[in-house]
Structure 1
């Protein structure tokens, strides 16, 4: 069996789903646009620079989710999928995923974005397995605004991927090959331990590293 792991934002999607979720909330008037936009842009710049504190950001993001009634949150999620995500699911990304699915590979999306935002996106891509930052929920199932466990970013992607595989009775060494597709230097920890790292729509830092290491690079969104 082979394993294929995919980052999500700017890898399978030409957008950052977490950032765009915040922009969407501002656009529809669900949050204080000026205050939220300022914080959202600050965090996004930190992520791009590799200086983001993932817990601080996730609890900002999850705290926003906790402020809505569940019914309203579900409505916003559906509207966001329809208006923002679905128009950005490109044929090239679907085809790349489908190639691995058709080959019988075990496929998972491994993302630093929170599970609430990305679960319907993984479903839209037809991917069963999702490793994402988990929001804490109370006894009634409501999001509390806290992060459950550790972030799924950087080294955290290795920790969570290994834990997921262990539940399935596997390890990274169980597979004939392990592909990991990512756009970002933030994913260098996981990229560096798989047999087939693929720089996918890479940012400048990852592109430079991939070239130095002789890793292949692909570009899905050049059309």
Structure 2
């Protein structure tokens, strides 16, 4: 089988979707009384502390995967199916079309996100992207979520390592592709943006916008990706 000649990588939160998937997952659970009513607010507080540099990604991951009690674990599969159906109605048609254009062109596609796999998988299915590189939740011996992260988070410079390992498992490397794209909104993703031939800033934060302008990278704004 011929190797793909082009690669398209996509960040998830605030890139393919115009919201924070972890917060939406917790709100979904709170609406079903599966987590405390204030779980989404406490998660957003953790996000603010993370942005301020007071906590690491581990705190956000723990806030997302830990709230449901042990008695709720049996309902996870049903909840995730319902969550996927609800989120499918909120995914922008513009980003669905963007991903579909790459798929139709025969490009190798993957979502590369710091979000926990627990939350990101439903979105990957909505976008029809089989390859998902995400932060892996650690499970205890009984299969329950411990709140810890398994291995390196799929975050910042670790995103590049995740991508390289995934490609190497297929006998591929980033330099094998004639063209490679990574779409992201955040300056934290600069290591992977710098590793591809075609970095694309999607509604970027201020730091990424400045870098994109300086380096003449493509920038997609609200008019281009109409959320």
TM-score (norm 2): 0.88
Q: Which residue of 2 aligns with 1:72?
A: 75
> Following TM superposition, by how much is the alpha carbon of 1:69 offset from its aligned partner in structure 2, in angstroms?
3.5
Counterparts of 1:146 and 1:77, CA distance in 2: 20
In the TM superposition, 1:196-215 aligns within 5 A as: 196-215=198-217
Q: Which residue of 1 aligns with 2:35?
A: 31
Aligned residues: CA RMSD: 2.0
State yes or no: 1:177 paired with 2:179. Answer: yes
Q: Which residue of 2 aligns with 1:6?
A: 10
For the Cα contact (< 8 Å) 1:110–1:131, is it kept in 2?
A: yes
For residues 5-61 of structure 1, the C-alpha deviation after alignment (integer angstroms, 9 at most, x for no partner) is 000111111111112112222333221223x23420122224555665012321332
Q: Which residue of 2 aligns with 1:216?
A: 218
Counterparts of 2:18 and 2:58, CA distance in 1: 24
User: Unaligned regions of 5+ residues in structure 2, if any?
Assistant: none
User: Unaligned regions of 5+ residues in structure 1, if any?
Assistant: none
Counterparts of 2:54 and 2:160, CA distance in 1: 19
Distance 1:70 1:108, change over 3 A: same
User: Which piece of structure 1 moves more, 116-125 or 40-49?
Assistant: 40-49
Counterparts of 1:49 and 1:4, CA distance in 2: 31
Q: Which residue of 2 aligns with 1:152?
A: 154
TM-score (norm 1): 0.90
For the Cα contact (< 8 Å) 1:177–1:196, is it kept in 2?
A: yes
For residues 89-147 of structure 1, the C-alpha deviation after alignment (integer angstroms, 9 at most, x for no partner) is 12111111111111111100000000011112101111010000111234554333321
For the Cα contact (< 8 Å) 1:50–1:186, is it kept in 2?
A: no
> Following TM superposition, by how much is the alpha carbon of 1:185 offset from its aligned partner in structure 2, in angstroms?
1.2
For residues 168-187 of structure 1, the C-alpha deviation after alignment (integer angstroms, 9 at most, x for no partner) is 11111111111000011111
Distance 1:27 1:180, change over 3 A: same
For the Cα contact (< 8 Å) 2:34–2:69, is it kept in 1?
A: no
Q: Which residue of 1 aligns with 2:88?
A: 86
Counterparts of 1:150 and 1:194, CA distance in 2: 21
For the Cα contact (< 8 Å) 1:14–1:88, is it kept in 2?
A: no
For the Cα contact (< 8 Å) 1:65–1:145, is it kept in 2?
A: no
Counterparts of 2:101 and 2:50, CA distance in 1: 30
For the Cα contact (< 8 Å) 1:14–1:221, is it kept in 2?
A: no
